[in-house]
Structure 1
Amino acid sequence: MHKKKVLLFLAKAFETMEFSVFIDVLGWARNDYGHPIFVETCGFTNKVISTFNVPVLVDKTIDEINVNDYDVLAIPGGFGEFGFYEDAYNERFLELINEFNDKGKIIASVCSGAMPLGKSGVLKNRRGTTYHLENGNWQKKLSEFGVNVVNEPVVVDTNIITSYCPETAPKVAFELLKMLTTEEDMLKIKHDMGF
């Protein structure tokens, strides 16, 4: 089996629940089922502070990343009031998103993690979604980037997965697992994790 690498990008103020599902679902696939899927965390700094003030030490900083070393870019969402968009809308990160997309690699985002995808231009004239409550304000903002917003829990458009709230985080991780393995393998792991 071909080794696969996922780059899990942590912008400042990311949500821990949206980050941890990728670690756990892909960890189960690797540890219990022998799928060679490895996750590396990344941020602008060696230590990234999450939305609710939990610090996480990342494996690499953005300057150390070579897109060719990875198969997937995964992006948890976060809270603007704690500074999520300072990192998420940083030009260097938007360039990284475009590099992954230009090479046809998978990009998986949860909730507001879709906003930098919109801003980067990779979702222009494509289907996507983001946080759906608050009168759909975030979905309206996403549509301003030229995204065809779909009010569904998880939306897949070729290589890009987006979703609309924290509750969807495991759904995104399992959708990603399916893309990296098979539907049959994903369903087995999902079942064994109690979903």
Structure 2
Amino acid sequence: MKKICLLLPNGFEAVEASVFTDVFGWNKDVSEGSTELVTVGTRRELKCTWNFTVIPERVLSEVTVEEFDALALPGGFEQAGFYEDSFRSDVLEFIREFDKQGKIIASICVGALVVGKSGVLQGRNATTYNRSNGRRQLQLAQMGANVIPDQPVVIDRNIITSYNPSTSFDVAFALLEALTTTENANHVKRLMGFHA
């Protein structure tokens, strides 16, 4: 069984987290059943970008990288405290350890900025939010990443990044494919009504 940590900082964007819960839920209950997703919060109760409240299954202080095969990280909004929470030293160290162990890290939109802040994108290809005059992509470049500005999803070895919320399902399916098989990912896509 492959285990995925869905890391939820305060201020995360709900839609970007829900794609992981749905894709991996469908795989677990309707398809081959080889994956389990665990929601891990930076605190016991989280507020999403627009005040949707979430209670994660576990908190960061209760888990170790060794328990998981992959890390999934949604983006969020500065006004909702996303960067304040996600740039914490324990979050950044958690990401560094996933990369050190060669485990997959999948982020959506500005989730890549958290990955970049950890230092693991130094000299590696990545992308992040592509609107707002490229401000967030410039920020990621200043963190040492080689930003690919016009590519919706960028995969560099074990790290998946994407450039806005519209790519959310693409990232979730890319992670499912990496943890299972292309055939299985396409099967889940078809079950969910996507053309595969």
- The answer on 1:188 being equivalent to 2:170 is no
Q: SS of the residue aligned with 2:5?
A: strand
2:36 pairs, out of 35, 38, 58, with 38
Amino acid at match of 1:47: E
Tell me the distance in 2 between the aligned counterparts of 1:92 and 1:28: 31
Shift of 1:185: 1.1
Counterpart of 1:164? 163
SS of the residue corresponding to residue 128 of structure 2 reads coil
Distance 1:34 1:185, change over 3 A: closer
Three-state SS of the structure 1 residue aligned to 2:30 is: helix
In structure 2, C-alpha distance between the alignment counterparts of 1:114 and 1:160, rounded to whole Å? 9
Q: 1:126-163 CA deviation, whole Å, 9 max, x = no partner?
A: 00000001111100000001100012110000100000
- What residue is the counterpart of 1:58 in the other structure? 56
Q: In structure 2, the residue corresponding to 1:111 is in which secondary structure?
A: coil
Structure 1 match to 2:147: 149
Q: Work out the CA distance in 2 between the residues paired with 1:25 and 1:43.
A: 19
Mapped partners of 2:48, 2:55: distance in 1:
11
TM-score by length of 1: 0.97
TM-score (norm 2): 0.97
Equivalenced residue count is 193
CA distance in 2, matches of 1:153, 1:94: 24
Percent same amino acid at aligned positions? 46
For the 8 Å contact 2:17–2:74, the answer to whether it is kept is yes
CA deviations over 1:69-120 (Å, ceiling 9, x no partner): 1001110000011110011111110000001110000000000000011111
Please point out which of 129, 132, 139 is paired with 2:127. Answer: 129
Backbone CA RMSD of aligned residues: 0.7
Aligned to 1:19: 17
Structure 2 residue 71 is matched with structure 1 residue 73: yes
Moved over 2 A (4+): none
Q: What is the CA distance between 1:35 and its match in structure 2?
A: 2.5
| Offset of residue 34 of structure 1 | 2.5
SS at match of 1:42: strand
CA distance in 1, matches of 2:17, 2:42: 16
| Equivalent of residue 6 in structure 2, options 5, 8, 11 | 8
How many Å separate the matches in 2 of 1:182 and 1:155? 19
CA-to-aligned-CA distance 1:27-50 (integer Å, 9 cap, x gap): 111111122211111112111110
CA distance in 2, matches of 1:160, 1:194: 27
Partners of 1:112 and 1:139 in 2: how far apart? Answer: 9
Structure 2 residue aligned with 1:85: 83
